[in-house]
Structure 1
Amino acid sequence: MIVALLKYLHLAAMLCWCASLIALPLLLSLYGGAWRRDRGSEKLQARYAEFRLITHYGYVAFATPAAVVAIAAGTGLIFAADVFDLWFVAKLALVSGMALVHAWIGHFILISAEHRGMHNLPSPLIPLALAIPLMVGVLWLVLAKPDLGGLTDWMPRFMLSPRGTWGQA
């Protein structure tokens, strides 16, 4: 019962987090550069205020809580379902990449607020281009659960033995 509840919570939060990792860079890309021209316009000022509210609250009140819930439920699921396979380590590495992209998007949102637009920043589509392969990789690893045992052939022996057993062979 607890495993099913954690899986549901983890999946729902991951869907929300991934949706925000797609939507926020698109919003920044579509509306972030609009403030460069016609800064004095009242209509543009109202649009900018709306843009700021959507991106700020989308990040602070939706994306970040979804990420925290997804990671917390996933951590609980590790121990509840007793998952300690090599594919899972690869999934954690990809989720770490997603967290870095999440932080980078937050930086874009902060800079767009401080400078009223995306001045002197790379395209916000770069985080999107990084996030999508990470999300696809996580989905593939979870669904396929591939045997990645062949990857251990190139690893040093000390990385493959449990703690406290070094020197015992």
Structure 2
Amino acid sequence: MTTLLKFIHLATIAIWSGGLVVLPFLFWQRRALSSGPELDRLHRLTRFVFVEMCSPAAFIAIGSGTALIFLQTTFLEWFSLKMVLVGLLVMLHVAAALVLAHLFEPGRSFGRIASVTLTGSYVILITSIIWVVLAKPHIDSNQIAVGLFAPGGLRQFLGETRIPMP
């Protein structure tokens, strides 16, 4: 069961990552097109990549990854770093959704700098996630935030918080 889940996780990560890397190039192609059949074709293709490939793959990758967390009890500091990086990747996924929602309106375009920046961000994050997973670097959380991972450590780190009751 775990092997099948890992295969599903890795396959959907590959689809999600590949789709995210290609999206800025598709966004950039919008600049040269005015209304007409070519713009409609690009719009349909871009929506297909994002809505029917990337987003379902992301959903399945995150779901299968969450299941693997509990099956393999992976609760180490390097894994926390991986989760932060995945969270950033999800935020950039949402950024692509926002771009797609408005890009094909009349008079809109996506510049070269934006395309290179978004592609670079995706590549850096994906490479960082792969490196963290493969290297599993030893991170001593006590050097970052003393006692944060100890029971009750978050309360000591943030201080006593009181929520006023009505």
TM over 0.5: yes
Alpha carbons 1:104, 1:127 under 8 Å: kept: no
Rounded to whole Å, the distance in 1 between the matches of 2:90 and 2:23 is 14
**Which whole-Å deviations, capped at 9, do the CAs of 1:42-79 have from their partners, x for residues lacking one?**
xx611100000001111111100000000000000000
Map residues 1-169 of structure 1 onto 2, 5 A cutoff. 2-29=1-28, 31-35=29-33, 39=34, 45-115=36-106, 117-118=108-109, 123-149=114-140, 151-157=141-147, 159-163=148-152
Contact between 2:31 and 2:111, CA under 8 Å: does it hold in 1?
no
**Percent identity of paired positions between Structure 1 and Structure 2:** 26
Asked if the contact 2:82/2:133 (under 8 Å) is kept, the reply is yes
User: In 2, distance between residues paired with 1:126 and 1:165?
Assistant: 35
2:107, 2:44 → 1: CA distance?
13
Equivalence for 2:164: none
Q: Which amino acid aligns with 2:143?
A: D
In the aligned structure 2, how far is the partner of 1:18 from the partner of 1:121? 20
1:121 shift after superposition? 10
| RMSD, matched Cα | 2.3
Q: Does the C-alpha gap of structure 1 residues 80 and 118 become closer, same or farther in structure 2, counting only changes over 3 Å?
A: same
- Give yes or no for contact 2:27–2:110 (8 Å, CA) kept in 1: no
Shift of 1:108: 1.2
Would the aligned equivalents of 1:24 and 1:58 in 2 still touch at CA under 8 Å?
A: yes
Q: Distance in 1 between matches of 2:138 and 2:115?
A: 35
CA contact (8 A) 1:91 1:138 kept: yes
**Residue 163 of structure 1: CA displacement?**
3.6
1:125 to partner: Cα distance = 2.7
Which structure 1 residue ranges, 5 or more long, are not aligned? none
Alignment: residue pair count:
156
Could you tell me which runs of 5 or more consecutive residues in structure 2 were left unpaired when the two chains were aligned: 157-166
Question: Is contact 1:87–1:145 with CA below 8 Å preserved after alignment?
Answer: yes
- Distance in 2, Cα, partners of 1:154 & 1:82: 23
Go from structure 1 to structure 2 and tell me whether the alpha carbon gap of 1:32 and 1:155 turns closer, same or farther (over 3 Å shift): same
Output the TM-score relative to the length of structure 2.
Answer: 0.85
Deviation at 1:119, TM superposition (A): 6.2
